[in-house]
């Protein structure tokens, strides 16, 4: 799995672009470290771009929920963008679409996040 990370110009938003399968393995701790660093740098929102994620395992769902918990503990929020049809179905089946705000694309997320 390849994890690309970029910070937006607005220091409150931390953008994570993920490519491949989100299965937890070594990527989970790596993502947790990146999110912790972003929080320490003042980020209060985490935007996760799922446009290049093909599959999310139960461990991958755990990673997303852990990121959400970390962000909410500092008064922040996590937003998901660009999920594939398969990932959208998974979010609906697991009812995570009720927990996360999901946007169709990154530009829409950035335009709607305060």
Which DSSP letter does residue 99 get?
A: T
> What's the whole-model pTM score?
0.90
**Hey, what are 86's tokens?**
């398969």
Look at residue 4 in the predicted model and tell me its pLDDT: 63
Mean pLDDT score of the chain, rounded to an integer?
89
Q: Which domains does the chain have, with CATH numbers?
A: 2-109 (3.30.750.24)
Q: What is the pLDDT of residues 13-65, one digit of tens each?
A: 999 988 888 887 777 888 889 899 999 999 999 999 999 898 899 999 999 99
Given this model, what pLDDT does residue 80 score? 97
Find, among 105, 57, 62, the residue nearest to 84 by Cα.
105
Q: Are 16 and 48 in contact (CB under 8 A)?
A: yes
- Residue 19 contacts residue 1 (beta carbons within 8 Å): yes
The Cα angle at residue 103 between residues 92 and 53, in degrees rounded to 5: 70
- d(Cα 109, Cα 79) in Å, to the nearest integer? 7
- 3-state helix vs strand vs coil in the chain, percent to 5: 45, 30, 25
Looking at the chain, the whole-number percentage of residues with pLDDT higher than 90 is 65
When pLDDT is averaged across residues 89-109 and rounded to a whole number, the result is: 95
């Amino acid at each position: 799995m390849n994890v690309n990370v970029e910070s937006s110009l607005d220091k409150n938003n931390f953008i994570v672009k993920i490519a491949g399968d989100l299965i937890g393995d070594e990527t989970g701790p790596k993502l947790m470290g990146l999110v912790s660093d972003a929080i320490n740098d003042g980020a209060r929102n985490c935007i996760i771009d799922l446009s290049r994620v093909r599959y999310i395992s139960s461990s991958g769902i755990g990673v997303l929920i852990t990121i959400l918990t970390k962000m909410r503990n500092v008064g922040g929020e996590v937003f998901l963008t660009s999920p594939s049809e398969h990932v959208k179905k998974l979010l609906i089946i697991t009812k995570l679409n009720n927990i996360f705000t999901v946007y169709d694309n990154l530009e829409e997320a950035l335009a709607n996040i305060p």
